[in-house]
Amino acid sequence: MGKNPQNRVRLRPVDLARPHGLSTQAVRNYEEAGILPAAARTESGYRTYSPLHAQALGTFLALLPGHGHPTATGIMRAVNRGAADEAFRLIDESHAQLLEDRRTLSAVENALRDLGPGAPKPRDPAPGTPAPGTPPPGSPAPAEPAPRPPTPAAPAPPEGPTPTPASTFIGPLADRLSVRPATLRKWEAAGLVRPRRDPLTGYRVYGEAEVRDARLVHQLRRGGYLLEQIAPLVDQVRAAGGLEPLEAALGDWRSRLATRGRALLTGAAKLDAYLNEQERERQSRGVLRISS
């Protein structure tokens, strides 16, 4: 009859710690946290580990980059107490979060494309196309138009300073975005747009940065994102100092997501091998109990 794999090789804490550059105290902490199965004890009370413990440690360290410490810890605890379904649920949540992050990145990229210089603009007329109102060639010259009455003077603006060429008020900005002024006020209440107040009139004044934020929020809302989902994206634009620095960071963001996706695969492979080893050990213990 084969022997129990746990009894085949005895490992000390240092034997588990050294290959990973860890301290022996870290190994003991991982055991106490449930990341490693409980260690056997010698007659004098010293911990002894087995190759299964070494595999558990390697599995946990492989799970860390993709899942983070809390989730990786939860996965190993669940597996070591036989609650595989709980471990699989935690893994599913990490994959769902990665997918949500990818969708967020795509939304930001799409919004930046719509806001950037490459956004669709009115097409120039084809060469040779007459300007609107120009009579076709060969037609008689139009009669001289009758003199028009003088245009009445525009009403005087409200007392106080007018916005600079790079700024605007809430009404014109709402018209530009095809939204109601109440929508802009709602975005302001959510902290997504931060117009300043004119010190004389109290009117909201939207500068270049506020118009940029409003356009970004508008694009993301059109994409189905909720205000609470948009808030961190606007914060990223502000922290980057505008759209151009954020565009430069998107490639790094995408690279990090790819690295995380690969890490999830690596951790899954290690966890699958660990689960298989656990199952073999349980079967071996069952055979030993029957034979005894």
State the pLDDT at residue 54: 96
- The better pLDDT of the pair 60, 225 is held by 60
Q: Whole-prediction pTM value?
A: 0.61
Distance separating alpha carbons of residues 92 and 4, to the nearest angstrom: 33
Give phi and psi for 276, each to the nearest 5. -65, -40
pLDDT band at 117 (very low <50, low <70, confident <90, very high): low
State the pLDDT at residue 116: 59
Inter-residue contact 217 to 187 (CB < 8 Å):
yes
Q: Which residue has the tokens 């109990």?
A: 289
Q: Is residue 104's pLDDT more than 80? A: no
The percent of residues in the chain predicted with pLDDT above 90, rounded, is 48
Q: For residue 104, give both structure tokens.
A: 């967020």
State the pLDDT at residue 167: 86
pLDDT band at 121 (very low <50, low <70, confident <90, very high): very low
Overall average pLDDT of the 10-31 stretch = 95
- The better pLDDT of the pair 158, 216 is held by 216
**Lowest mean per-residue pLDDT among 5-9, 160-164, 184-188, 224-228:** 160-164
Overall average pLDDT of the 152-178 stretch = 68
User: Helices (DSSP H) in 81-226: which residue ranges?
Assistant: 84-115, 170-177, 181-189, 208-222
pLDDT band at 155 (very low <50, low <70, confident <90, very high): very low
Distance separating alpha carbons of residues 138 and 236, to the nearest angstrom: 60
**Greatest CA separation found in the chain?**
117
State the pLDDT at residue 154: 38
Q: Is residue 149's pLDDT more than 90? A: no
State the pLDDT at residue 221: 81
pLDDT band at 289 (very low <50, low <70, confident <90, very high): low
Give the chain's end-to-end CA distance (angstroms, integer).
10
Q: Is residue 69's pLDDT more than 90? A: yes
Provide the CA 123 distance to its chain's centre, in angstroms: 35
- Ramachandran region of residue 202, left (φ > 0), alpha (ψ -120 to 50) or beta? left
Q: For residue 231, give both structure tokens.
A: 């808030």
CA dist 168 to 35, 208, 241, Å? 58, 9, 20
- The better pLDDT of the pair 46, 128 is held by 46
- The better pLDDT of the pair 136, 265 is held by 265
**Lowest mean per-residue pLDDT among 143-147, 163-167, 279-283:** 143-147
Q: Is 220 exposed, middle or buried (0-12, 13-18, 19+ CB in 10 A)?
A: buried
Q: For residue 43, give both structure tokens.
A: 């007659």
Overall average pLDDT of the 14-38 stretch = 95
* Average pLDDT score over the chain: 80
- Ramachandran region of residue 111, left (φ > 0), alpha (ψ -120 to 50) or beta? alpha
State the pLDDT at residue 6: 45
